[in-house]
């Protein structure tokens, strides 16, 4: 809800626990007033009456206080908006009014023919912010247009949390003190990237369950940048948006409008855990489509059969998967065109006639007859030079005239900014989903942009942005035409995970690293922002074939993967009868706890670094604890797990031990786990009596 002061120059947004306030001065400067616990409009008005400091030649009175710092005039911070019109750069706006009718607050400013509108929408305590730019005059160049700048309150020493990584090692959490200057994270790769999730959190003294945490997360699946700046007077601002630098985002023609992606912000006083739970609830309620429906247990063929796939062999895998209780069978790479290795076939989305003589339908029908859904892998934005598509349309890829075309994994990136490319992909994919009863699409993206050129286009720079809009448009169109089909976002594992892709996919592939121990750290980081409901996790073979040869028990592999959307990805033809039978029990157990895991509140009881790690989920009267012990040392007893989110006055029955525990005892003295040795793990189900 937005409230506005009598003079129409101070606004207050209110969520269940938080407030946010801004003010336009009599010089039309938009200043930030408050972001934090709930306040009243009168408090915001009192803040608005506090004078800004005086200008002087070496510092700006606006820096660190402005809601959306534009380039130009008395400002020295990194601008959120940078516009070039002919020989003139920068923006000098006048306030042009506000609207707050439909749950969104819009603040409008004008600079000549350019209208800049700041949008604010409360979703619980998450504030979604974005900006629209409308050009009523001759073409202007948008060098930078961030979605929002967030201003933190004055505090002594901020600490920055971020999720860094690389291929097979995504979303690992680090925390470091913020120092003077700028800390910039982002992607120059054309996709969200494995290197950073587009999220940061700032706190001064928070713990897992206590203290104030400010966080923000970007909804954009292309290149992006978030800059956290500690200014000379120690004030902190975070500015972020699409695009990696200020050298040209788009050309905005006469009467064109540019809409930035959403940059969402959240204040919480429940520590890192409270902030995560609020982010999770926000995504389940407002972002992820159909998040009230639980995701099925899937089998994926990639680690089992790689590129070497055939109909008979997939049928056999499907039979074993079905017997295990798997609900969705996914044929990964290798089913189409001349795709017998990563050297050929991308772009030709028709089933390989040697491998699938009757197309995919016979296998899909068999899978359905076994009682499972059927899924396929695609990588539509790419092409192998050795493909019919590339031979017919070598100009459909991104390339720079007269330059080498960089091949990564023997593939080039299609130019999705082109109408003909998007139309071709629509026809191929729509045809595919219409020809066989496909229930699920794993949509991959396996290389970064390197030669983002578009010979012949007057402003090729736009392909960075238009590629992403092209991808979003295709997904939206396919979802509308095939509403029963679920989509997974994959990019060599977790290279494309953000609020933008999550608003049009059902789950994401977290990492190509399926080692159950490494996964604990990846999942710990992932859970800082995204819910278990979208986090795919597979049980694969031991020794681990993809990465490190680590040997682990089925128990450990299952408990690690049960923390998200469970999948199985091992070569089931090589699993023994006992292994298959044990796996069947784990899958049955997962189905039982699934509603609690996928829809419950997550409490991270212990981080993975400590040797013993555990997560707890609470939904209504049900509680699930997943505990993993990396290694026991010196025969020391493994500590009991102090649970959270329980009623201290209630009693809880543990299904594993049949014991009844007092809530207060579980909260203050903990649940004994009985774990011992190396790579041990256990699941505990508790029900409130
Ligand atoms: C990427 C994905 C894998 C698999 C392969 C297939 O690496 O992350 O899961 O689908 O592509 O080529």
CATH of the domain at 141: 2.70.98.60
* Residue 152 belongs to domain spanning: 2-287
482 and 374 in one domain? yes
* C-alpha triplet 484, 487, 491: angle, nearest 5°: 170
Do β-strands 660-662 and 651-654 pair in parallel, antiparallel, or remain unpaired?
A: antiparallel
Cα dist from 263 to 68, 126, 149, 182, 533, whole Å: 13, 10, 9, 19, 22
616 and 550 in one domain? no
- Residue 133 maps to a domain: yes
Closest CA to 600 of 563, 627, 628: 563
What pLDDT, on a 0 to 100 scale, did the predictor assign at position 102? 81
235 and 174 in one domain? yes
pLDDT (tens digit, 9 = 90+) per residue, 132-158? Answer: 999 999 999 999 999 999 999 999 999
CATH code where residue 649 lies: 2.60.40.1180
Distance CA 13, CA 18 (A): 8
Distance CA 661, CA 650 (A): 9
165 and 118 in one domain? yes
pLDDT at 101 over 90: no
661 and 554 in one domain? no
Q: Where are the alpha helices (DSSP H) in 83-125?
A: none
- Residue 533 maps to a domain: yes
- Residue 42 maps to a domain: yes
234 and 364 in one domain? no
pLDDT at 455 over 80: yes
Cβ neighbours around 370 below 10 Å, total: 16
Mean of pLDDT values over 659-672: 98
Mean of pLDDT values over 113-133: 98
Distance CA 115, CA 138 (A): 13
Point out the domain boundary residue: 599, 634, 649.
599
What pLDDT, on a 0 to 100 scale, did the predictor assign at position 312? 97
Point out the domain boundary residue: 257, 287, 317.
287
618 and 563 in one domain? no
- Residue 638 maps to a domain: yes
Residue nearest to atom 1 of ligand 1 (CA): 492
User: What does pLDDT average to over the chain?
Assistant: 97
pLDDT (tens digit, 9 = 90+) per residue, 492-513? Answer: 999 999 999 999 999 999 999 9
CATH code where residue 384 lies: 3.20.20.70
- Residue 293 maps to a domain: no
3-class state of residue 594 by DSSP: helix
Q: How many CA atoms lie within 13 A of 244 on its CB side?
A: 15
Does 28 carry a binding-site annotation?
Answer: no
Residue nearest to atom 7 of ligand 1 (CA): 492
634 and 493 in one domain? no
Distance CA 13, CA 39 (A): 10
Q: Of 512, 518, 541, 680, which is the active-site residue? A: 512
Per mean pLDDT, which range of 110-114, 245-249, 271-275, 645-649 is the poorest?
245-249
Strand partners, 59: 56
- Residue 292 maps to a domain: no
Q: Tell me which residues have their CB closer than 6 angstroms to ligand 1.
A: 302, 332-333, 377, 444, 446, 490, 492-493, 509, 512
312 and 208 in one domain? no
> Which tokens is 101 given?
């009718």
Band of the pLDDT at 279, cuts 50, 70, 90? very high
Element (DSSP H or E) covering residue 273: helix 271-282
Cα 453 to ligand 1 centroid, rounded to whole Å: 26
307 and 191 in one domain? no
User: What length is written for the chain?
Assistant: 689
Cα dist from 467 to 9, 486, 488, 498, 685, whole Å: 39, 22, 19, 16, 46
478 and 400 in one domain? yes
Mean of pLDDT values over 307-330: 98
Query: Is 621 annotated as catalytic?
Result: no
Element (DSSP H or E) covering residue 266: strand 263-268
Cα 388 to ligand 1 centroid, rounded to whole Å: 22
Strand partners, 129: 120, 263
Mean of pLDDT values over 341-352: 98
Does 419 carry a binding-site annotation?
Answer: no
Residue nearest to atom 3 of ligand 1 (CA): 492
What pLDDT, on a 0 to 100 scale, did the predictor assign at position 103? 85
- Residue 344 maps to a domain: yes
249 and 217 in one domain? yes
Does 442 carry a binding-site annotation?
Answer: yes
pLDDT at 602 over 90: yes
Please tell me the total count of domains within the chain. Answer: 3
> Which tokens is 136 given?
């009523």
Cα 493 to ligand 1 centroid, rounded to whole Å: 7
Phi, psi for 298 (deg, rounded to 5): -115, 160
Cα 62 to ligand 1 centroid, rounded to whole Å: 48
What pLDDT, on a 0 to 100 scale, did the predictor assign at position 22? 98
Point out the domain boundary residue: 584, 599, 614.
599
Q: Of 125, 348, 444, 541, which is the active-site residue? A: 444
Query: Is 444 annotated as catalytic?
Result: yes
Distance CA 118, CA 123 (A): 16
> Which tokens is 85 given?
């019109």
Percent of the chain with pLDDT over 70: 100
């Amino acid at each position: 809800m937005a409230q506005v002061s009598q003079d129409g120059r101070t606004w207050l947004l209110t969520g269940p626990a938080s407030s946010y306030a801004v003010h336009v001065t009599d010089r039309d400067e938009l200043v930030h007033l408050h972001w934090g616990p709930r306040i009243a409009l009168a408090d915001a008005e009192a803040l608005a009456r506090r004078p800004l400091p005086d200008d002087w030649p070496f510092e700006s009175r606006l820096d660190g206080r402005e809601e959306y710092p534009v380039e130009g005039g008395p400002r020295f911070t990194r601008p959120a908006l940078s516009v070039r019109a002919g020989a003139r750069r920068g923006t000098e706006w006048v306030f042009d009014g506000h609207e707050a009718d439909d749950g969104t607050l819009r603040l409008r400013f004008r600079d000549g023919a350019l209208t800049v509108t700041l949008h604010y929408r409360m979703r619980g305590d998450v504030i979604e912010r974005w900006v629209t730019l409308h050009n009523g005059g001759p073409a202007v160049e948008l060098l930078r247009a961030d979605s929002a700048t967030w201003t933190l309150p004055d505090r002594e020493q901020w600490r920055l949390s971020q999720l860094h990584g690389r291929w097979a090692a995504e979303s690992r959490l680090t925390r470091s003190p913020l120092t003077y200057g700028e800390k910039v994270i982002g992607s120059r790769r054309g996709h969200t990237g494995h290197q950073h999730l587009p999220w940061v959190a700032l706190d001064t003294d928070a713990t897992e369950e206590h203290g104030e945490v400010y966080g923000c997360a970007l909804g954009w699946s292309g290149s992006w940048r978030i800059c956290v700046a500690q200014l000379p007077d120690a004030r902190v601002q975070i500015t972020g948006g699409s695009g990696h630098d200020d050298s040209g985002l788009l050309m905005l023609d006469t009467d064109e409008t540019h809409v930035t992606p959403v940059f969402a912000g959240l204040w919480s006083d429940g520590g890192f855990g409270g902030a995560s739970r609020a982010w999770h609830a926000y995504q389940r309620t407002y972002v992820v489509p159909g998040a009230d429906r639980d995701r099925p247990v899937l089998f994926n063929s990639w680690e089992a059969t790689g590129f070497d796939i055939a109909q008979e062999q997939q049928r056999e895998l499907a039979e074993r998967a079905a017997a295990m209780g798997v609900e969705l069978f996914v044929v990964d790479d290798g089913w189409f065109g001349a795709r017998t290795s990563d050297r050929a076939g991308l772009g030709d989305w028709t089933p390989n006639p040697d491998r699938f003589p009757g197309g995919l339908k016979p296998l899909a029908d068999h899978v359905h007859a076994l009682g499972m859904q059927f899924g396929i892998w695609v990588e539509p934005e790419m092409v192998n030079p050795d493909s019919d598509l590339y031979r017919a349309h070598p100009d459909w890829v991104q390339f720079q005239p007269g330059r080498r075309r960089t091949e990564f994994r023997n593939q080039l990136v299609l130019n999705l900014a082109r109408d003909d490319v998007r139309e071709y992909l629509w026809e191929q994919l729509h045809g595919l989903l219409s020809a066989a009863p496909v229930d699920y699409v794993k949509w991959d993206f396996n290389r970064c942009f390197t030669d983002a050129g578009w010979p012949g286009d007057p402003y090729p720079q736009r392909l960075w942005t238009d590629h992403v809009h092209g991808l979003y448009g295709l997904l939206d169109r396919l979802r509308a035409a095939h509403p029963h089909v679920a989509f997974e976002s994959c990019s060599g594992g977790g290279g494309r995970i953000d609020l933008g892709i999550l608003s049009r996919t059902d789950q994401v592939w977290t990492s190509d690293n399926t080692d159950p121990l490494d996964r604990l750290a990846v999942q710990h980081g992932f859970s800082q922002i995204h819910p278990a409901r979208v986090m795919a996790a597979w049980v694969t073979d031991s020794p681990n074939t993809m990465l490190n040869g680590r040997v682990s028990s089925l128990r450990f592999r299952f408990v690690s993967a049960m923390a998200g959307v469970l999948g199985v990805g091992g070569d089931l033809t090589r699993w023994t009868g006992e292994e298959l039978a044990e796996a069947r029990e784990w899958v049955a157990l997962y189905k039982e706890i699934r509603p609690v895991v996928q829809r419950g509140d997550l409490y991270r009881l212990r981080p993975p670094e400590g040797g013993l790690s555990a997560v707890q989920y609470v939904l209504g009267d049900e509680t699930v604890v997943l505990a993993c012990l990396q290694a026991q040392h010196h025969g020391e007893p493994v500590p009991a797990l102090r649970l959270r989110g329980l009623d201290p006055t209630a009693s809880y029955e543990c299904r594993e031990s049949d014991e009844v525990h007092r809530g207060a005892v579980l909260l203050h003295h903990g649940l004994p786990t009985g774990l011992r040795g190396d790579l041990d793990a256990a699941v505990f189900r508790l029900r409130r009596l």
